Chain A
Protein backbone atom coordinates (compact mmCIF):
# COMPACT_ATOMS: atom_id res chain seq x y z
CA UNK A 1 0.00 0.00 0.00
CA UNK A 2 1.26 3.47 -0.84
CA UNK A 3 1.88 5.50 2.23
CA UNK A 4 1.18 9.22 2.10
CA UNK A 5 4.37 11.25 2.38
CA UNK A 6 4.07 13.99 4.97
CA UNK A 7 6.39 16.42 6.68
CA UNK A 8 5.53 16.66 10.35
CA UNK A 9 6.84 19.27 12.78
CA UNK A 10 6.67 18.44 16.49
CA UNK A 11 7.61 20.31 19.67
CA UNK A 12 8.20 18.86 23.15
CA UNK A 13 11.33 16.74 22.62
CA UNK A 14 12.31 17.19 26.26
CA UNK A 15 12.24 13.58 27.39
CA UNK A 16 13.48 14.44 30.86
CA UNK A 17 12.07 13.52 34.27
CA UNK A 18 9.29 15.96 33.36
CA UNK A 19 8.80 14.68 29.84
CA UNK A 20 7.17 16.44 26.94
CA UNK A 21 4.97 14.41 24.58
CA UNK A 22 7.09 15.04 21.44
CA UNK A 23 9.12 11.83 21.40
CA UNK A 24 6.16 9.46 21.95
CA UNK A 25 4.11 11.43 19.41
CA UNK A 26 6.83 10.97 16.78
CA UNK A 27 7.26 7.31 17.71
CA UNK A 28 3.52 6.75 17.28
CA UNK A 29 3.32 8.39 13.86
CA UNK A 30 6.41 6.57 12.64
CA UNK A 31 4.49 3.35 13.32
CA UNK A 32 1.64 4.45 11.08
CA UNK A 33 0.89 2.24 8.09
CA UNK A 34 -0.70 5.20 6.31
CA UNK A 35 2.07 7.78 6.54
CA UNK A 36 5.65 7.95 5.36
CA UNK A 37 6.78 10.70 7.64
CA UNK A 38 9.69 13.13 7.60
CA UNK A 39 10.04 14.57 11.08
CA UNK A 40 11.10 18.11 11.92
CA UNK A 41 11.87 18.51 15.61
CA UNK A 42 11.22 21.96 17.06
CA UNK A 43 13.11 22.60 20.28
CA UNK A 44 13.49 25.41 22.77
CA UNK A 45 16.60 24.17 24.56
CA UNK A 46 19.79 22.71 23.14
CA UNK A 47 19.78 19.81 25.60
CA UNK A 48 16.36 18.42 24.83
CA UNK A 49 17.10 14.67 24.58
CA UNK A 50 15.00 14.23 21.42
CA UNK A 51 17.63 16.22 19.50
CA UNK A 52 20.17 13.48 20.08
CA UNK A 53 18.02 10.36 19.69
CA UNK A 54 19.13 8.37 16.66
CA UNK A 55 16.48 7.89 13.99
CA UNK A 56 13.92 10.15 15.63
CA UNK A 57 14.06 13.46 13.73
CA UNK A 58 15.26 14.16 10.21
CA UNK A 59 15.98 17.79 11.03
CA UNK A 60 15.99 19.90 14.17
CA UNK A 61 15.31 23.62 14.50
CA UNK A 62 15.47 25.72 17.60
CA UNK A 63 12.49 28.03 18.06
CA UNK A 64 12.04 31.05 20.36
CA UNK A 65 10.13 30.70 23.61
CA UNK A 66 6.51 31.86 23.42
CA UNK A 67 7.43 34.50 26.00
CA UNK A 68 9.45 36.20 23.24
CA UNK A 69 6.13 36.94 21.54
CA UNK A 70 3.95 34.96 19.18
CA UNK A 71 5.08 37.05 16.19
CA UNK A 72 8.68 35.96 16.63
CA UNK A 73 7.64 32.32 17.04
CA UNK A 74 5.42 32.42 13.95
CA UNK A 75 8.10 34.09 11.84
CA UNK A 76 10.54 31.36 12.84
CA UNK A 77 8.02 28.66 11.87
CA UNK A 78 7.49 30.41 8.53
CA UNK A 79 11.26 30.50 8.00
CA UNK A 80 11.50 26.77 8.72
CA UNK A 81 8.54 26.18 6.38
CA UNK A 82 10.50 27.78 3.53
CA UNK A 83 13.09 25.02 3.90
CA UNK A 84 10.87 22.14 4.88
CA UNK A 85 7.36 22.26 3.54
CA UNK A 86 5.60 21.38 6.79
CA UNK A 87 2.27 19.63 6.25
CA UNK A 88 1.24 19.22 9.88
CA UNK A 89 2.51 20.80 13.09
CA UNK A 90 1.78 19.31 16.52
CA UNK A 91 2.51 21.69 19.40
CA UNK A 92 2.90 19.77 22.65
CA UNK A 93 3.28 22.40 25.37
CA UNK A 94 0.45 24.15 27.17
CA UNK A 95 2.45 27.37 27.29
CA UNK A 96 2.93 27.56 23.51
CA UNK A 97 -0.61 26.59 22.53
CA UNK A 98 -1.99 30.11 22.80
CA UNK A 99 0.56 31.44 20.28
CA UNK A 100 -0.15 28.62 17.85
CA UNK A 101 -3.90 29.02 18.20
CA UNK A 102 -3.64 32.73 17.60
CA UNK A 103 -1.70 32.13 14.40
CA UNK A 104 -3.53 28.99 13.27
CA UNK A 105 -5.13 30.77 10.29
CA UNK A 106 -1.90 32.48 9.24
CA UNK A 107 0.00 29.19 9.30
CA UNK A 108 -2.86 27.35 7.57
CA UNK A 109 -2.70 29.89 4.73
CA UNK A 110 0.92 28.88 4.26
CA UNK A 111 -0.07 25.20 4.19
CA UNK A 112 0.79 24.26 7.79
CA UNK A 113 -2.12 22.39 9.30
CA UNK A 114 -2.78 21.88 13.01
CA UNK A 115 -5.62 20.31 14.96
CA UNK A 116 -6.01 22.47 18.03
CA UNK A 117 -8.83 23.30 20.42
CA UNK A 118 -10.55 26.62 19.86
CA UNK A 119 -9.50 29.58 21.95
CA UNK A 120 -12.79 29.35 23.87
CA UNK A 121 -12.26 25.64 24.61
CA UNK A 122 -8.70 26.35 25.65
CA UNK A 123 -9.49 29.25 27.93
CA UNK A 124 -12.60 27.96 29.68
CA UNK A 125 -10.72 24.88 31.00
CA UNK A 126 -7.88 26.91 32.48
CA UNK A 127 -7.14 25.97 36.06
CA UNK A 128 -8.39 29.22 37.54
CA UNK A 129 -11.76 28.76 35.80
CA UNK A 130 -12.24 25.07 36.65
CA UNK A 131 -15.10 25.49 39.19
CA UNK A 132 -17.20 27.37 36.62
CA UNK A 133 -16.27 24.76 34.02
CA UNK A 134 -17.41 21.91 36.28
CA UNK A 135 -20.71 23.66 36.90
CA UNK A 136 -21.32 24.38 33.21
CA UNK A 137 -20.62 20.84 32.02
CA UNK A 138 -21.89 18.91 35.04
CA UNK A 139 -18.57 17.50 36.23
CA UNK A 140 -17.43 17.37 39.84
CA UNK A 141 -14.34 19.50 40.40
CA UNK A 142 -12.54 20.34 43.63
CA UNK A 143 -13.36 23.79 44.95
CA UNK A 144 -10.57 26.29 44.31
CA UNK A 145 -9.53 29.87 44.86
CA UNK A 146 -7.28 32.16 42.80
CA UNK A 147 -4.69 34.03 44.80
CA UNK A 148 -3.24 37.28 43.49
CA UNK A 149 -1.09 38.00 46.55
CA UNK A 150 0.49 35.94 49.29
CA UNK A 151 -1.67 37.76 51.88
CA UNK A 152 -4.74 36.05 50.44
CA UNK A 153 -3.57 32.80 52.00
CA UNK A 154 -5.32 34.01 55.16
CA UNK A 155 -8.61 34.28 53.20
CA UNK A 156 -7.99 30.88 51.71
CA UNK A 157 -7.63 29.38 55.20
CA UNK A 158 -11.14 30.58 56.04
CA UNK A 159 -12.48 28.60 53.10
CA UNK A 160 -10.37 25.43 53.10
CA UNK A 161 -8.82 23.14 55.66
CA UNK A 162 -5.30 21.87 55.08
CA UNK A 163 -4.02 20.06 53.12
CA UNK A 164 -4.57 22.01 49.90
CA UNK A 165 -2.97 21.82 46.46
CA UNK A 166 -1.08 24.93 45.33
CA UNK A 167 -0.90 25.10 41.54
CA UNK A 168 0.64 27.22 38.79
CA UNK A 169 -1.38 28.41 35.82
CA UNK A 170 0.36 26.05 33.41
CA UNK A 171 2.41 23.55 35.41
CA UNK A 172 3.45 22.57 38.90
CA UNK A 173 1.38 21.50 41.84
CA UNK A 174 2.48 21.19 45.45
CA UNK A 175 0.55 19.85 48.43
CA UNK A 176 0.61 22.20 51.42
CA UNK A 177 -0.19 20.91 54.90
CA UNK A 178 0.12 24.21 56.77
CA UNK A 179 0.39 27.97 56.28
CA UNK A 180 4.18 27.92 56.00
CA UNK A 181 4.12 25.28 53.25
CA UNK A 182 1.34 27.17 51.45
CA UNK A 183 3.47 30.34 51.46
CA UNK A 184 6.53 28.46 50.24
CA UNK A 185 4.55 26.86 47.43
CA UNK A 186 2.98 30.22 46.52
CA UNK A 187 6.42 31.83 46.15
CA UNK A 188 7.80 28.91 44.13
CA UNK A 189 4.82 28.72 41.77
CA UNK A 190 4.32 32.48 41.30
CA UNK A 191 8.03 33.02 40.55
CA UNK A 192 7.88 30.43 37.79
CA UNK A 193 4.40 30.74 36.34
CA UNK A 194 3.17 34.15 37.46
CA UNK A 195 -0.19 35.02 38.95
CA UNK A 196 -2.77 33.97 39.85
CA UNK A 197 -1.71 31.01 41.92
CA UNK A 198 -4.50 28.49 42.24
CA UNK A 199 -5.27 26.85 45.57
CA UNK A 200 -7.37 23.75 45.17
CA UNK A 201 -9.22 21.76 47.80
CA UNK A 202 -7.41 18.46 48.38
CA UNK A 203 -9.37 15.42 47.25
CA UNK A 204 -8.11 12.13 48.64
CA UNK A 205 -8.18 9.16 46.32
CA UNK A 206 -6.45 7.47 43.43
CA UNK A 207 -5.12 9.51 40.52
CA UNK A 208 -6.44 8.28 37.20
CA UNK A 209 -6.12 9.82 33.74
CA UNK A 210 -7.68 9.62 30.31
CA UNK A 211 -5.99 10.45 27.02
CA UNK A 212 -8.55 11.30 24.35
CA UNK A 213 -9.08 12.91 20.97
CA UNK A 214 -12.13 14.94 19.96
CA UNK A 215 -13.01 15.70 16.35
CA UNK A 216 -14.46 19.14 17.11
CA UNK A 217 -17.98 17.98 16.25
CA UNK A 218 -18.71 16.30 19.57
CA UNK A 219 -17.36 12.87 18.66
CA UNK A 220 -14.71 11.07 20.67
CA UNK A 221 -12.30 9.58 18.16
CA UNK A 222 -10.20 7.83 20.79
CA UNK A 223 -10.06 7.49 24.57
CA UNK A 224 -7.95 5.32 26.84
CA UNK A 225 -8.09 5.47 30.66
CA UNK A 226 -4.98 4.80 32.73
CA UNK A 227 -3.91 4.63 36.34
CA UNK A 228 -0.46 5.84 37.30
CA UNK A 229 1.38 3.01 38.97
CA UNK A 230 4.60 4.80 39.69
CA UNK A 231 4.71 8.56 40.21
CA UNK A 232 7.89 10.63 40.30
CA UNK A 233 8.50 13.39 42.83
CA UNK A 234 7.32 15.79 40.11
CA UNK A 235 4.02 13.95 39.98
CA UNK A 236 4.74 12.47 36.56
CA UNK A 237 3.77 8.93 35.63
CA UNK A 238 6.80 6.65 35.37
CA UNK A 239 4.59 3.60 34.98
CA UNK A 240 0.92 3.14 34.25
CA UNK A 241 -1.74 0.61 33.28
CA UNK A 242 -4.85 0.81 31.10
CA UNK A 243 -8.14 0.35 32.92
CA UNK A 244 -11.61 -0.94 32.17
CA UNK A 245 -13.60 1.84 33.75
CA UNK A 246 -16.98 2.61 32.23
CA UNK A 247 -17.54 5.66 34.42
CA UNK A 248 -14.31 7.29 33.25
CA UNK A 249 -15.23 6.60 29.64
CA UNK A 250 -18.75 7.99 30.10
CA UNK A 251 -17.33 11.13 31.68
CA UNK A 252 -14.86 11.59 28.83
CA UNK A 253 -17.39 11.02 26.06
CA UNK A 254 -19.89 13.33 27.70
CA UNK A 255 -17.35 16.11 28.20
CA UNK A 256 -16.09 15.91 24.61
CA UNK A 257 -19.67 15.86 23.35
CA UNK A 258 -20.76 18.85 25.44
CA UNK A 259 -17.67 20.95 24.74
CA UNK A 260 -17.29 19.83 21.09
CA UNK A 261 -13.63 19.41 21.97
CA UNK A 262 -11.21 19.63 19.06
CA UNK A 263 -7.80 18.00 19.38
CA UNK A 264 -5.97 15.89 21.90
CA UNK A 265 -6.57 16.18 25.61
CA UNK A 266 -5.77 14.60 28.92
CA UNK A 267 -8.23 14.47 31.79
CA UNK A 268 -6.67 14.27 35.23
CA UNK A 269 -9.13 12.77 37.68
CA UNK A 270 -9.18 11.69 41.30
CA UNK A 271 -11.26 8.64 42.08
CA UNK A 272 -12.36 8.77 45.70
CA UNK A 273 -12.79 5.71 47.87
CA UNK A 274 -16.53 6.04 47.46
CA UNK A 275 -16.15 5.77 43.67
CA UNK A 276 -16.74 9.44 42.79
CA UNK A 277 -14.65 11.17 40.15
CA UNK A 278 -13.30 14.68 40.54
CA UNK A 279 -11.82 16.44 37.56
CA UNK A 280 -8.67 18.19 38.78
CA UNK A 281 -7.24 19.31 35.47
CA UNK A 282 -7.71 19.23 31.70
CA UNK A 283 -4.52 19.36 29.67
CA UNK A 284 -5.42 20.66 26.21
CA UNK A 285 -2.94 18.48 24.35
CA UNK A 286 -1.66 14.95 24.02
CA UNK A 287 0.09 13.80 27.25
CA UNK A 288 3.60 12.30 27.44
CA UNK A 289 2.19 8.84 28.20
CA UNK A 290 0.26 8.70 24.91
CA UNK A 291 2.32 5.76 23.66
CA UNK A 292 0.48 3.56 26.16
CA UNK A 293 -2.71 4.25 24.18
CA UNK A 294 -0.89 3.25 20.99
CA UNK A 295 0.31 0.05 22.66
CA UNK A 296 -3.25 -0.62 23.77
CA UNK A 297 -4.53 -0.27 20.21
CA UNK A 298 -5.40 3.39 19.67
CA UNK A 299 -2.86 5.40 17.70
CA UNK A 300 -4.05 8.80 18.82
CA UNK A 301 -1.24 10.90 17.26
CA UNK A 302 -1.82 9.22 13.89
CA UNK A 303 -5.55 9.95 14.13
CA UNK A 304 -4.80 13.56 15.04
CA UNK A 305 -2.61 13.96 11.94
CA UNK A 306 -5.39 12.49 9.80
CA UNK A 307 -7.90 14.93 11.26
CA UNK A 308 -5.49 17.81 10.66
CA UNK A 309 -5.17 16.73 7.01
CA UNK A 310 -8.95 16.63 6.71
CA UNK A 311 -9.25 12.85 6.42
CA UNK A 312 -12.32 11.05 7.65
CA UNK A 313 -11.49 9.27 10.90
CA UNK A 314 -13.80 6.72 12.48
CA UNK A 315 -13.96 6.52 16.29
CA UNK A 316 -11.79 3.84 17.90
CA UNK A 317 -13.89 2.14 20.51
CA UNK A 318 -11.77 -0.71 21.85
CA UNK A 319 -8.40 -0.99 23.51
CA UNK A 320 -6.49 -3.63 25.41
CA UNK A 321 -7.08 -3.57 29.15
CA UNK A 322 -4.16 -4.20 31.50
CA UNK A 323 -1.48 -2.91 29.09
CA UNK A 324 1.33 -1.23 30.97
CA UNK A 325 4.08 1.24 30.27
CA UNK A 326 7.25 1.54 32.27
CA UNK A 327 9.64 4.41 31.56
CA UNK A 328 13.37 4.22 31.84
CA UNK A 329 16.29 6.59 31.64
CA UNK A 330 19.16 5.95 29.28
CA UNK A 331 22.47 7.68 28.77
CA UNK A 332 23.21 8.65 25.18
CA UNK A 333 26.75 9.44 24.19
CA UNK A 334 26.75 12.52 22.02
CA UNK A 335 29.46 14.12 19.92
CA UNK A 336 30.21 17.72 20.69
CA UNK A 337 29.65 18.69 17.03
CA UNK A 338 25.95 17.99 17.32
CA UNK A 339 25.62 20.04 20.47
CA UNK A 340 27.69 22.82 18.86
CA UNK A 341 25.51 22.79 15.74
CA UNK A 342 22.25 23.28 17.59
CA UNK A 343 23.83 25.83 19.94
CA UNK A 344 25.44 27.94 17.22
CA UNK A 345 23.36 27.41 14.07
CA UNK A 346 20.02 26.81 15.83
CA UNK A 347 19.45 23.87 13.53
CA UNK A 348 20.82 20.45 12.63
Chain B
Protein backbone atom coordinates (compact mmCIF):
# COMPACT_ATOMS: atom_id res chain seq x y z
CA UNK B 1 0.00 0.00 0.00
CA UNK B 2 1.48 3.33 -1.07
CA UNK B 3 0.62 6.73 0.29
CA UNK B 4 0.22 9.00 -2.75
CA UNK B 5 2.80 11.73 -3.25
CA UNK B 6 0.18 14.48 -2.91
CA UNK B 7 -0.36 13.56 0.74
CA UNK B 8 1.34 15.71 3.37
CA UNK B 9 1.36 14.40 6.94
CA UNK B 10 2.16 16.86 9.73
CA UNK B 11 3.74 15.81 13.02
CA UNK B 12 0.53 16.66 14.88
CA UNK B 13 -1.50 14.14 12.87
CA UNK B 14 -2.96 16.60 10.33
CA UNK B 15 -3.21 14.99 6.90
CA UNK B 16 -3.62 17.13 3.77
CA UNK B 17 -4.39 15.87 0.29
CA UNK B 18 -2.96 18.57 -1.96
CA UNK B 19 -4.72 17.17 -5.02
CA UNK B 20 -8.26 17.24 -3.66
CA UNK B 21 -7.86 19.87 -0.95
CA UNK B 22 -9.28 17.48 1.65
CA UNK B 23 -7.81 17.46 5.14
CA UNK B 24 -8.15 15.00 8.01
CA UNK B 25 -7.28 14.87 11.71
CA UNK B 26 -5.77 11.64 12.95
CA UNK B 27 -5.70 10.57 16.58
CA UNK B 28 -2.32 9.39 17.94
CA UNK B 29 -3.01 5.74 17.06
CA UNK B 30 -4.09 6.63 13.52
CA UNK B 31 -1.00 8.81 13.16
CA UNK B 32 1.23 5.97 14.31
CA UNK B 33 -0.42 3.62 11.84
CA UNK B 34 -0.16 5.97 8.85
CA UNK B 35 3.51 6.69 9.60
CA UNK B 36 4.24 2.96 9.57
CA UNK B 37 2.33 2.54 6.31
CA UNK B 38 4.18 5.52 4.88
CA UNK B 39 7.47 3.91 5.88
CA UNK B 40 6.49 0.89 3.76
CA UNK B 41 6.13 -1.55 6.66
CA UNK B 42 4.24 -4.77 5.94
CA UNK B 43 1.03 -5.74 7.76
CA UNK B 44 2.75 -8.40 9.87
CA UNK B 45 5.36 -5.96 11.11
CA UNK B 46 2.77 -3.31 11.99
CA UNK B 47 0.59 -5.92 13.72
CA UNK B 48 3.44 -7.26 15.83
CA UNK B 49 4.44 -3.76 16.87
CA UNK B 50 0.88 -2.87 17.92
CA UNK B 51 0.25 -6.16 19.75
CA UNK B 52 3.38 -5.58 21.72
CA UNK B 53 2.66 -1.97 22.54
CA UNK B 54 -1.12 -1.95 23.10
CA UNK B 55 -3.66 -4.06 24.93
CA UNK B 56 -5.30 -5.44 21.79
CA UNK B 57 -5.82 -8.93 20.45
CA UNK B 58 -4.84 -10.17 17.03
CA UNK B 59 -8.35 -10.28 15.56
CA UNK B 60 -9.45 -6.88 16.81
CA UNK B 61 -6.29 -5.28 15.46
CA UNK B 62 -6.66 -6.92 12.07
CA UNK B 63 -10.29 -5.75 11.78
CA UNK B 64 -9.43 -2.17 12.78
CA UNK B 65 -6.37 -2.11 10.54
CA UNK B 66 -8.30 -3.11 7.42
CA UNK B 67 -11.06 -0.67 8.28
CA UNK B 68 -8.45 2.08 8.53
CA UNK B 69 -6.89 1.04 5.23
CA UNK B 70 -10.30 1.07 3.51
CA UNK B 71 -10.83 4.58 4.79
CA UNK B 72 -7.44 5.68 3.45
CA UNK B 73 -8.33 4.32 0.03
CA UNK B 74 -11.76 5.89 0.09
CA UNK B 75 -10.25 9.31 0.77
CA UNK B 76 -7.60 8.82 -1.94
CA UNK B 77 -4.80 8.90 0.60
CA UNK B 78 -3.44 5.61 -0.67
CA UNK B 79 -3.22 4.47 -4.26
CA UNK B 80 -6.07 2.36 -5.57
CA UNK B 81 -4.32 -0.68 -6.94
CA UNK B 82 -5.90 -4.01 -7.73
CA UNK B 83 -9.40 -3.91 -6.15
CA UNK B 84 -8.99 -7.52 -5.06
CA UNK B 85 -5.84 -6.59 -3.18
CA UNK B 86 -7.55 -5.24 -0.11
CA UNK B 87 -4.51 -3.69 1.51
Chain A positions near chain B (C-beta within 8 angstroms): 206, 208, 226-227, 229, 241, 243-245, 271, 321-322
Chain B positions near chain A (C-beta within 8 angstroms): 6, 8, 16, 18-21
Please tell me if the beta carbons of A243 and B20 are within 8 angstroms of each other in the complex: yes
Q: How far is the CA of A208 from the CA of B6 in the complex (A)?
A: 17
Please tell me if the beta carbons of B16 and A322 are within 8 angstroms of each other in the complex: yes
Closest chain-A Cβ to B10's Cβ sits at a distance in Å of 11
Q: How far is the CA of A189 from the CA of B84 in the complex (A)?
A: 49
Closest chain-A Cβ to B23's Cβ sits at a distance in Å of 8
* Known A244-B6, A322-B8: A206·B20 in contact at CB below 8 Å: yes
Q: Which residues of B contact A244 (CB under 8 A)?
A: 6, 18-19
Q: Which residues of B contact A271 (CB under 8 A)?
A: 20
Closest chain-B Cβ to A319's Cβ sits at a distance in Å of 11
Q: How far is the CA of A243 from the CA of B19 in the complex (A)?
A: 5
Q: Which residues of B contact A241 (CB under 8 A)?
A: 21
Please tell me if the beta carbons of A322 and B20 are within 8 angstroms of each other in the complex: no
Q: How far is the CA of A243 from the CA of B8 in the complex (A)?
A: 12
Q: Which residues of A contact B21 (CB under 8 A)?
A: 206, 208, 226-227, 229, 241, 243
Interface pairs (21), CB distance under 8 Å: A206-B20, A206-B21, A208-B21, A226-B21, A227-B20, A227-B21, A229-B21, A241-B21, A243-B18, A243-B19, A243-B20, A243-B21, A244-B6, A244-B18, A244-B19, A245-B19, A271-B20, A321-B18, A322-B8, A322-B16, A322-B18
Apart from A243-B21, A244-B18, what are 9 other A-B pairs with CB-CB below 8 Å? A206-B21, A227-B21, A229-B21, A241-B21, A243-B18, A243-B19, A244-B6, A245-B19, A271-B20
Closest chain-B Cβ to A306's Cβ sits at a distance in Å of 29
Closest chain-B Cβ to A203's Cβ sits at a distance in Å of 17
Closest chain-A Cβ to B26's Cβ sits at a distance in Å of 17
Q: How far is the CA of A271 from the CA of B21 in the complex (A)?
A: 12
Q: Which residues of B contact A227 (CB under 8 A)?
A: 20-21
Q: How far is the CA of A229 from the CA of B18 in the complex (A)?
A: 13
Q: How far is the CA of A322 from the CA of B23 in the complex (A)?
A: 10
Q: Which residues of B contact A322 (CB under 8 A)?
A: 8, 16, 18
Q: Which residues of A contact B18 (CB under 8 A)?
A: 243-244, 321-322
A-B pairs, top 8 by smallest CB distance, nearest first, are A227-B21, A244-B18, A321-B18, A241-B21, A243-B21, A245-B19, A244-B6, A322-B18
Q: Which residues of B contact A208 (CB under 8 A)?
A: 21
Q: How far is the CA of A243 from the CA of B22 in the complex (A)?
A: 10
Q: How far is the CA of A319 from the CA of B6 in the complex (A)?
A: 15
Closest chain-B Cβ to A295's Cβ sits at a distance in Å of 15
Q: How far is the CA of A171 from the CA of B12 in the complex (A)?
A: 42
* In the complex, residue of chain B having the shortest beta-carbon distance to the beta carbon of A241: B21
Q: How far is the CA of A227 from the CA of B6 in the complex (A)?
A: 15
Q: How far is the CA of A321 from the CA of B6 in the complex (A)?
A: 10
Closest chain-B Cβ to A133's Cβ sits at a distance in Å of 26
Q: Which residues of A contact B16 (CB under 8 A)?
A: 322
Q: Which residues of B contact A243 (CB under 8 A)?
A: 18-21
Q: Which residues of A contact B19 (CB under 8 A)?
A: 243-245
Q: How far is the CA of A227 from the CA of B17 in the complex (A)?
A: 11
Q: Which residues of A contact B6 (CB under 8 A)?
A: 244
Closest chain-B Cβ to A318's Cβ sits at a distance in Å of 14
* In the complex, residue of chain B having the shortest beta-carbon distance to the beta carbon of A228: B21
* In the complex, residue of chain B having the shortest beta-carbon distance to the beta carbon of A247: B19
* In the complex, residue of chain B having the shortest beta-carbon distance to the beta carbon of A248: B19
Q: How far is the CA of A244 from the CA of B20 in the complex (A)?
A: 8
Q: How far is the CA of A229 from the CA of B6 in the complex (A)?
A: 18
Q: Which residues of A contact B8 (CB under 8 A)?
A: 322
Q: How far is the CA of A241 from the CA of B21 in the complex (A)?
A: 6
Closest chain-A Cβ to B74's Cβ sits at a distance in Å of 11
